[in-house]
Structure 1
Amino acid sequence: MHHILLFALLTVSVLADVQPQYSFSPPVGSGSGSSYSITGEDRLTAVRVWEVYNGHIYGIQFRYGFIWSSVAGYVSGEPKVIELFDNEAIIQISGKYAHYVQSLVLISNRGRSLYAGQPSGHSFNMYATNSEAELRFISGRFHGGLTSIGAHWAVFTQSANDTAVH
Protein backbone atom coordinates (compact mmCIF):
# COMPACT_ATOMS: atom_id res chain seq x y z
CA MET A 1 0.00 0.00 0.00
CA HIS A 2 2.84 2.40 0.78
CA HIS A 3 4.33 1.81 -2.69
CA ILE A 4 1.05 2.75 -4.37
CA LEU A 5 0.75 5.91 -2.26
CA LEU A 6 4.38 6.86 -2.97
CA PHE A 7 3.87 6.29 -6.74
CA ALA A 8 0.71 8.43 -6.68
CA LEU A 9 2.49 11.27 -4.87
CA LEU A 10 5.45 11.14 -7.28
CA THR A 11 3.10 11.16 -10.28
CA VAL A 12 1.22 14.22 -8.95
CA SER A 13 4.53 15.95 -8.22
CA VAL A 14 5.85 15.30 -11.75
CA LEU A 15 2.59 16.40 -13.40
CA ALA A 16 2.55 19.61 -11.35
CA ASP A 17 5.94 20.52 -12.86
CA VAL A 18 4.78 19.95 -16.46
CA GLN A 19 4.28 23.25 -18.24
CA PRO A 20 1.99 23.60 -21.26
CA GLN A 21 3.78 23.45 -24.61
CA TYR A 22 1.54 26.18 -26.11
CA SER A 23 0.03 29.40 -24.74
CA PHE A 24 -1.78 32.43 -26.12
CA SER A 25 -1.61 36.10 -25.13
CA PRO A 26 -5.01 37.61 -26.06
CA PRO A 27 -5.04 40.59 -28.44
CA VAL A 28 -4.78 44.19 -27.27
CA GLY A 29 -6.01 47.25 -29.19
CA SER A 30 -9.34 48.26 -30.71
CA GLY A 31 -9.39 45.39 -33.18
CA SER A 32 -10.96 47.19 -36.11
CA GLY A 33 -10.27 46.35 -39.76
CA SER A 34 -8.99 43.27 -41.54
CA SER A 35 -7.59 40.26 -39.72
CA TYR A 36 -4.02 39.01 -40.13
CA SER A 37 -1.80 36.26 -38.85
CA ILE A 38 1.90 35.78 -39.43
CA THR A 39 2.98 32.16 -39.21
CA GLY A 40 5.84 30.03 -40.47
CA GLU A 41 7.20 26.50 -40.37
CA ASP A 42 10.76 27.22 -39.26
CA ARG A 43 12.11 29.12 -36.26
CA LEU A 44 11.60 32.90 -36.19
CA THR A 45 14.89 34.48 -37.34
CA ALA A 46 14.11 38.19 -37.88
CA VAL A 47 11.42 40.85 -37.41
CA ARG A 48 10.73 44.08 -39.32
CA VAL A 49 8.45 46.77 -37.91
CA TRP A 50 7.26 49.92 -39.71
CA GLU A 51 6.06 52.88 -37.67
CA VAL A 52 4.26 56.10 -38.53
CA TYR A 53 6.52 59.07 -37.73
CA ASN A 54 5.62 60.17 -34.17
CA GLY A 55 2.79 57.68 -34.23
CA HIS A 56 1.67 54.07 -34.16
CA ILE A 57 2.81 50.72 -35.58
CA TYR A 58 2.10 50.72 -39.32
CA GLY A 59 3.19 47.18 -40.28
CA ILE A 60 5.10 44.11 -39.14
CA GLN A 61 6.81 41.19 -40.89
CA PHE A 62 8.56 38.02 -39.67
CA ARG A 63 11.26 35.91 -41.25
CA TYR A 64 11.10 32.17 -40.57
CA GLY A 65 14.40 30.53 -41.46
CA PHE A 66 15.26 32.35 -44.70
CA ILE A 67 11.68 33.10 -45.83
CA TRP A 68 9.95 36.44 -45.16
CA SER A 69 6.23 36.38 -44.40
CA SER A 70 3.67 38.73 -45.89
CA VAL A 71 3.47 42.13 -44.19
CA ALA A 72 0.65 42.57 -41.69
CA GLY A 73 -0.44 46.18 -42.07
CA TYR A 74 1.50 48.52 -44.33
CA VAL A 75 5.03 49.39 -45.44
CA SER A 76 6.33 52.97 -45.34
CA GLY A 77 9.90 54.18 -45.00
CA GLU A 78 12.68 52.24 -43.34
CA PRO A 79 11.70 49.46 -40.94
CA LYS A 80 13.14 48.80 -37.50
CA VAL A 81 14.80 45.37 -37.70
CA ILE A 82 16.11 42.73 -35.34
CA GLU A 83 17.97 39.72 -36.75
CA LEU A 84 18.13 36.88 -34.26
CA PHE A 85 21.27 34.84 -33.61
CA ASP A 86 21.29 31.02 -33.65
CA ASN A 87 19.21 29.72 -30.73
CA GLU A 88 17.95 33.25 -29.97
CA ALA A 89 14.18 33.68 -29.69
CA ILE A 90 11.60 36.35 -28.91
CA ILE A 91 10.29 35.62 -25.40
CA GLN A 92 8.35 38.80 -24.58
CA ILE A 93 6.31 41.48 -26.33
CA SER A 94 5.49 44.69 -24.50
CA GLY A 95 4.16 48.02 -25.61
CA LYS A 96 1.30 50.49 -25.54
CA TYR A 97 -2.05 50.60 -27.31
CA ALA A 98 -5.02 52.89 -27.80
CA HIS A 99 -7.06 52.59 -31.01
CA TYR A 100 -3.81 51.48 -32.69
CA VAL A 101 -0.90 49.50 -31.35
CA GLN A 102 1.14 52.59 -30.43
CA SER A 103 4.45 50.92 -29.62
CA LEU A 104 6.10 47.50 -29.55
CA VAL A 105 9.10 46.18 -27.67
CA LEU A 106 10.18 42.68 -28.69
CA ILE A 107 12.65 41.13 -26.24
CA SER A 108 14.86 38.10 -26.91
CA ASN A 109 16.15 35.40 -24.59
CA ARG A 110 19.59 37.07 -24.94
CA GLY A 111 18.31 40.37 -23.58
CA ARG A 112 18.32 42.13 -26.94
CA SER A 113 15.29 44.13 -28.02
CA LEU A 114 13.61 45.97 -30.86
CA TYR A 115 11.74 49.21 -30.03
CA ALA A 116 9.23 50.77 -32.44
CA GLY A 117 6.44 53.36 -32.25
CA GLN A 118 5.57 55.97 -29.67
CA PRO A 119 4.84 54.93 -26.07
CA SER A 120 1.39 56.38 -25.38
CA GLY A 121 -1.83 54.71 -24.25
CA HIS A 122 -2.45 51.58 -22.20
CA SER A 123 0.49 49.27 -21.37
CA PHE A 124 0.59 45.58 -22.20
CA ASN A 125 3.05 42.76 -21.59
CA MET A 126 2.89 39.35 -23.30
CA TYR A 127 4.96 36.25 -22.58
CA ALA A 128 4.62 32.46 -22.58
CA THR A 129 3.41 30.41 -19.63
CA ASN A 130 6.24 27.93 -20.29
CA SER A 131 9.77 29.20 -19.62
CA GLU A 132 11.07 27.12 -22.57
CA ALA A 133 8.55 28.54 -25.08
CA GLU A 134 9.16 31.28 -27.62
CA LEU A 135 7.11 33.45 -29.96
CA ARG A 136 5.83 31.30 -32.85
CA PHE A 137 3.28 33.60 -34.50
CA ILE A 138 1.08 36.66 -34.05
CA SER A 139 -2.44 37.53 -35.07
CA GLY A 140 -4.65 40.58 -34.92
CA ARG A 141 -6.27 43.26 -37.08
CA PHE A 142 -5.16 46.28 -39.12
CA HIS A 143 -6.77 49.38 -40.63
CA GLY A 144 -4.49 52.38 -41.15
CA GLY A 145 -1.93 50.51 -39.05
CA LEU A 146 -2.11 47.64 -36.56
CA THR A 147 -5.28 47.97 -34.48
CA SER A 148 -4.62 44.81 -32.46
CA ILE A 149 -1.96 42.19 -31.78
CA GLY A 150 -2.06 38.85 -29.98
CA ALA A 151 0.85 36.45 -29.45
CA HIS A 152 1.06 32.67 -29.76
CA TRP A 153 3.88 30.94 -27.86
CA ALA A 154 5.18 27.37 -28.12
CA VAL A 155 8.20 25.24 -27.38
CA PHE A 156 10.09 24.99 -30.68
CA THR A 157 11.04 21.50 -31.78
CA GLN A 158 12.88 20.59 -34.96
CA SER A 159 10.69 18.66 -37.40
CA ALA A 160 11.41 15.00 -38.07
CA ASN A 161 12.59 15.96 -41.58
CA ASP A 162 15.41 18.15 -40.25
CA THR A 163 18.79 16.51 -39.89
CA ALA A 164 21.70 17.75 -37.88
CA VAL A 165 24.85 18.72 -39.76
CA HIS A 166 28.02 17.46 -38.09
Structure 2
Amino acid sequence: MLTIALLALLCASASANAIQLRSSSFNGEYGGSGGQRFSHSGNQLEGPITAIRVRVNNYYIVGLQVRYGKVWSDYVGGKQGDLEEIFLYPGESVIQVSGKYKRYLRKLVFVTDQHRYLAFGKDTGTSFNAAPLYPNTVLRFISGRAGSLINAIGLHWDYYPSECSSC
Protein backbone atom coordinates (compact mmCIF):
# COMPACT_ATOMS: atom_id res chain seq x y z
CA MET A 1 0.00 0.00 0.00
CA LEU A 2 2.83 2.37 0.86
CA THR A 3 4.47 1.57 -2.49
CA ILE A 4 1.27 2.47 -4.37
CA ALA A 5 0.92 5.76 -2.47
CA LEU A 6 4.57 6.62 -3.14
CA LEU A 7 4.18 5.76 -6.83
CA ALA A 8 1.02 7.93 -7.08
CA LEU A 9 2.84 10.84 -5.43
CA LEU A 10 5.78 10.45 -7.81
CA CYS A 11 3.46 10.43 -10.86
CA ALA A 12 1.58 13.50 -9.64
CA SER A 13 4.87 15.34 -9.12
CA ALA A 14 6.12 14.40 -12.59
CA SER A 15 2.80 15.47 -14.10
CA ALA A 16 2.98 18.88 -12.37
CA ASN A 17 6.55 19.37 -13.62
CA ALA A 18 5.47 18.48 -17.15
CA ILE A 19 2.69 21.07 -17.00
CA GLN A 20 5.17 23.74 -15.86
CA LEU A 21 7.59 22.83 -18.64
CA ARG A 22 4.84 23.26 -21.22
CA SER A 23 3.99 26.79 -20.10
CA SER A 24 7.33 28.55 -19.66
CA SER A 25 9.74 29.52 -22.42
CA PHE A 26 12.75 31.78 -22.99
CA ASN A 27 14.05 33.94 -25.86
CA GLY A 28 17.52 35.49 -26.02
CA GLU A 29 19.94 36.69 -25.08
CA TYR A 30 19.88 39.38 -27.74
CA GLY A 31 22.87 41.73 -27.80
CA GLY A 32 26.59 41.77 -27.12
CA SER A 33 28.69 39.79 -24.67
CA GLY A 34 29.76 42.41 -22.08
CA GLY A 35 28.20 43.71 -18.88
CA GLN A 36 27.15 42.26 -15.53
CA ARG A 37 24.35 39.69 -15.41
CA PHE A 38 20.96 40.69 -13.99
CA SER A 39 17.68 38.85 -13.58
CA HIS A 40 14.20 39.85 -12.45
CA SER A 41 13.17 36.25 -11.78
CA GLY A 42 12.33 36.99 -8.14
CA ASN A 43 10.42 40.15 -9.05
CA GLN A 44 7.73 38.20 -10.89
CA LEU A 45 6.50 37.01 -7.48
CA GLU A 46 5.25 40.59 -6.89
CA GLY A 47 2.78 40.22 -9.74
CA PRO A 48 2.49 40.77 -13.49
CA ILE A 49 4.41 43.42 -15.37
CA THR A 50 2.49 46.69 -14.94
CA ALA A 51 4.94 49.35 -16.19
CA ILE A 52 8.27 49.72 -18.01
CA ARG A 53 10.92 52.44 -17.74
CA VAL A 54 13.55 52.69 -20.46
CA ARG A 55 16.43 55.17 -20.59
CA VAL A 56 17.62 55.92 -24.14
CA ASN A 57 20.26 58.13 -25.72
CA ASN A 58 20.86 58.93 -29.41
CA TYR A 59 22.22 55.44 -30.16
CA TYR A 60 21.41 52.89 -27.44
CA ILE A 61 19.07 51.56 -24.80
CA VAL A 62 20.95 52.84 -21.74
CA GLY A 63 18.88 51.44 -18.86
CA LEU A 64 15.81 49.41 -17.89
CA GLN A 65 13.46 49.11 -14.95
CA VAL A 66 10.24 47.08 -14.79
CA ARG A 67 7.36 47.30 -12.34
CA TYR A 68 5.95 43.95 -11.21
CA GLY A 69 2.58 44.42 -9.51
CA LYS A 70 3.22 47.62 -7.53
CA VAL A 71 6.95 47.08 -6.95
CA TRP A 72 9.72 48.43 -9.21
CA SER A 73 12.69 46.20 -9.96
CA ASP A 74 16.22 47.43 -9.43
CA TYR A 75 17.31 49.81 -12.20
CA VAL A 76 19.96 48.31 -14.50
CA GLY A 77 22.21 50.22 -16.89
CA GLY A 78 23.63 53.70 -17.13
CA LYS A 79 22.42 57.16 -16.16
CA GLN A 80 22.82 59.13 -19.44
CA GLY A 81 19.91 59.81 -21.77
CA ASP A 82 16.17 60.39 -21.51
CA LEU A 83 13.98 58.30 -19.23
CA GLU A 84 10.67 57.15 -20.75
CA GLU A 85 7.95 55.43 -18.74
CA ILE A 86 4.91 53.47 -19.96
CA PHE A 87 2.17 52.03 -17.74
CA LEU A 88 0.17 49.03 -18.88
CA TYR A 89 -3.61 49.05 -18.52
CA PRO A 90 -5.09 46.82 -15.79
CA GLY A 91 -4.97 43.23 -17.04
CA GLU A 92 -2.84 44.16 -20.08
CA SER A 93 0.19 41.95 -20.82
CA VAL A 94 3.21 41.98 -23.12
CA ILE A 95 2.86 39.19 -25.69
CA GLN A 96 5.78 39.99 -28.03
CA VAL A 97 9.09 41.87 -27.87
CA SER A 98 11.13 42.89 -30.88
CA GLY A 99 14.13 45.12 -31.26
CA LYS A 100 17.59 45.70 -32.66
CA TYR A 101 21.09 45.26 -31.30
CA LYS A 102 24.73 45.34 -32.27
CA ARG A 103 27.19 45.22 -29.37
CA TYR A 104 24.51 46.86 -27.23
CA LEU A 105 20.74 46.96 -27.30
CA ARG A 106 19.56 49.72 -29.67
CA LYS A 107 15.77 49.35 -29.89
CA LEU A 108 12.96 47.66 -27.97
CA VAL A 109 9.31 47.32 -28.98
CA PHE A 110 6.87 45.77 -26.50
CA VAL A 111 3.60 44.56 -28.06
CA THR A 112 0.63 44.04 -25.75
CA ASP A 113 -2.48 41.92 -25.93
CA GLN A 114 -4.45 45.17 -26.27
CA HIS A 115 -2.66 45.91 -29.57
CA ARG A 116 -0.36 48.61 -28.21
CA TYR A 117 3.20 49.00 -29.52
CA LEU A 118 5.52 50.54 -26.93
CA ALA A 119 8.71 51.50 -28.80
CA PHE A 120 12.01 52.78 -27.42
CA GLY A 121 15.34 53.54 -29.13
CA LYS A 122 16.73 53.75 -32.66
CA ASP A 123 16.01 51.55 -35.66
CA THR A 124 19.53 50.30 -36.48
CA GLY A 125 21.32 46.97 -36.02
CA THR A 126 20.44 43.29 -36.16
CA SER A 127 16.73 42.61 -35.70
CA PHE A 128 15.17 40.14 -33.28
CA ASN A 129 11.58 39.15 -32.64
CA ALA A 130 10.63 37.24 -29.48
CA ALA A 131 7.30 35.65 -28.61
CA PRO A 132 6.26 32.92 -26.19
CA LEU A 133 6.46 29.33 -27.33
CA TYR A 134 3.14 28.34 -25.73
CA PRO A 135 -0.33 29.83 -26.26
CA ASN A 136 -1.87 32.12 -23.64
CA THR A 137 1.49 32.91 -22.03
CA VAL A 138 2.89 36.41 -21.51
CA LEU A 139 6.15 38.16 -20.62
CA ARG A 140 6.74 37.41 -16.93
CA PHE A 141 10.24 38.82 -16.40
CA ILE A 142 13.45 39.93 -18.09
CA SER A 143 17.11 39.12 -17.60
CA GLY A 144 20.30 40.09 -19.37
CA ARG A 145 23.59 41.93 -18.99
CA ALA A 146 24.23 45.60 -18.36
CA GLY A 147 26.98 48.09 -17.56
CA SER A 148 26.82 51.72 -18.62
CA LEU A 149 24.42 50.50 -21.35
CA ILE A 150 22.17 47.47 -21.77
CA ASN A 151 24.44 44.88 -23.37
CA ALA A 152 21.86 42.10 -23.84
CA ILE A 153 18.31 41.11 -22.92
CA GLY A 154 16.57 37.80 -22.28
CA LEU A 155 12.78 37.37 -22.21
CA HIS A 156 10.97 34.86 -20.00
CA TRP A 157 7.38 33.82 -20.74
CA ASP A 158 4.75 31.99 -18.70
CA TYR A 159 1.08 32.18 -17.74
CA TYR A 160 -0.32 35.41 -16.31
CA PRO A 161 -0.42 34.96 -12.52
CA SER A 162 -3.89 33.76 -11.51
CA GLU A 163 -3.70 35.24 -8.02
CA CYS A 164 -2.11 38.61 -7.47
CA SER A 165 -2.86 40.24 -4.13
CA SER A 166 -0.39 43.11 -4.65
CA CYS A 167 -1.62 44.14 -8.14
User: How far, CA to CA, are the matches of 2:121 and 2:63 in structure 1?
Assistant: 11
| Contiguous gaps of at least 5 residues in structure 1 | 1-18
**1:24 corresponding residue in structure 2:** 26
After TM superposition, the structure 1 = structure 2 runs for residues 106-121 of structure 1, keeping only pairs within 5 Å, are 106-121=110-125
- CA offset at residue 162 of structure 1? 4.3
- CA offset at residue 31 of structure 1? 2.2
User: How far, CA to CA, are the matches of 1:33 and 1:101 in structure 2?
Assistant: 12
User: How far, CA to CA, are the matches of 2:128 and 2:107 in structure 1?
Assistant: 10
User: How far, CA to CA, are the matches of 2:144 and 2:81 in structure 1?
Assistant: 22
Percent identity among equivalent residues?
Answer: 35
**1:154 corresponding residue in structure 2:** 158
Q: Does 1:37 align with 2:34?
A: no
Report the TM-score when normalising by structure 1: 0.80
After TM superposition, the structure 1 = structure 2 runs for residues 81-92 of structure 1, keeping only pairs within 5 Å, are 81-92=85-96
User: How far, CA to CA, are the matches of 1:99 and 1:114 in structure 2?
Assistant: 22
The alignment of Structure 1 onto Structure 2 pairs a total of residues equal to 144
Alignment deviations for residues 50-95 of structure 1 (CA, whole Å, 9 cap, x no partner): 011x210000101011111101212345422221111100111101
- CA offset at residue 117 of structure 1? 1.1
- CA offset at residue 143 of structure 1? 2.4
The residue identity in structure 1 corresponding to 2:119 is Y
User: How far, CA to CA, are the matches of 1:37 and 1:108 in structure 2?
Assistant: 22
1:30 touches 1:147 (CA, 8 Å); kept in 2? yes
Deviant stretches of 4+, over 3 Å: 75-78
Q: In angstroms, what is the RMSD of aligned CA positions?
A: 2.0
Alignment deviations for residues 81-131 of structure 1 (CA, whole Å, 9 cap, x no partner): 221111100111101000000111111111112111111110000110122
Alignment deviations for residues 7-31 of structure 1 (CA, whole Å, 9 cap, x no partner): xxxxxxxxxxxx9210000201112
The residue identity in structure 2 corresponding to 1:50 is R
User: How far, CA to CA, are the matches of 1:158 and 1:152 in structure 2?
Assistant: 17
After TM superposition, the structure 1 = structure 2 runs for residues 8-157 of structure 1, keeping only pairs within 5 Å, are 20-39=22-41, 40=43, 41=45, 42-52=47-57, 54-157=58-161
